[in-house]
Copies of this chain bind each other. A is one copy, B any other.
Amino acid sequence: MLDPRRLSIHQVTLRQCSTPEFVAALARHRVPCTSLWRDKTREYGVEKTAQIIADNGIALSGYCFAGLITSPDRSEAATARDDVRRALDEAAALRAPCLVFVAGGVDPRDKNIADTRARALDGVAELISHARSVGVRIALEPLHPMICATRSVLSTLKLANEWCDRLDADDIVGIAVDTYAVWWDAEIAAEIARAGKRICSFHVSDWLADTQDLRVDRGMMGDGVIDLPALRRLVEAAGYAAYVEVEIFSQRNWWQRDPDEVIGVIKERVQTAV
């Protein structure tokens, strides 16, 4: 059983809602926590969003997302890092404990993926002082290898652990474990144990056998092939005791449904399938 106080539903899971509609739906169903999404937050306004969240007594598990700092052009990369600093400021204003960080993909101008990864790691190192100054943890999120070209060259938890070893800043750089991104990994058990207290965010959804899109066809927990209870046991054995965060991108299904129905199914599935 999952303590209902540990449920967080990411804003993107109900992309069909405006921010006020989303917050009202969470409050109506007594969902205690969310991770806000940046596009929605900026659209509604950071201060207004902070206010409506506080007024409804909803906690934040994180702020999603910023990053994409892998450009081989030095000026573009600097601009991208400045944008991450703004996102850290927004997260601080929202009182979110962490900013989910997405490294960036492979630029056709430089197909050397080792160099690309080195640039990303150097870029994270440059962001640490700002993160410390605003008190928001950078949550490095390994993403699925299928979006390595476009979104993230940080493709495994092992690599995230290696980056954390190199950064030596566990006080301010953590790791977001997204089950959808890492479930296939033969080394996942060992790397979750190694990550230990670095794990500051735990995302659940499911991998559908008939997945039709590389990004926006995630499944509801229980509808796919991921052994979610096993992954939850692993992160909890590693010391993670915070929120179970439901993050479902679903263009063809859950984004088309009534928010009350979606939340009802989530509340049931986190008890039966996670």
Is the beta-carbon distance between A226 and B144 smaller than 8 angstroms? no
Which of A45-53, A110-118, A124-132 is near enough to bind chain B? Answer: A110-118
**Size band of the interface chain A makes with B:** 35 or more
What residues of chain B lie closer than 8 Å to A185, measured between beta carbons?
145, 155
Complex CA distance for A111 and B183, rounded to whole angstroms: 10
Is the beta-carbon distance between A113 and B183 smaller than 8 angstroms? yes
Complex CA distance for A105 and B209, rounded to whole angstroms: 9
Which of A21-29, A146-154, A249-257 is near enough to bind chain B? Answer: A146-154
What residues of chain B lie closer than 8 Å to A209, measured between beta carbons?
105, 108, 149-150
What residues of chain B lie closer than 8 Å to A114, measured between beta carbons?
186, 189
Closest chain B CB from A68 CB (angstroms): 14
Closest chain B CB from A226 CB (angstroms): 7
Is the beta-carbon distance between B149 and A113 smaller than 8 angstroms? no
Interface residues of A (CB under 8 A from B): 105-108, 111-114, 117, 144-146, 148-150, 153, 155-156, 158-159, 183-186, 189, 207-209, 211-212, 214, 224-227, 230
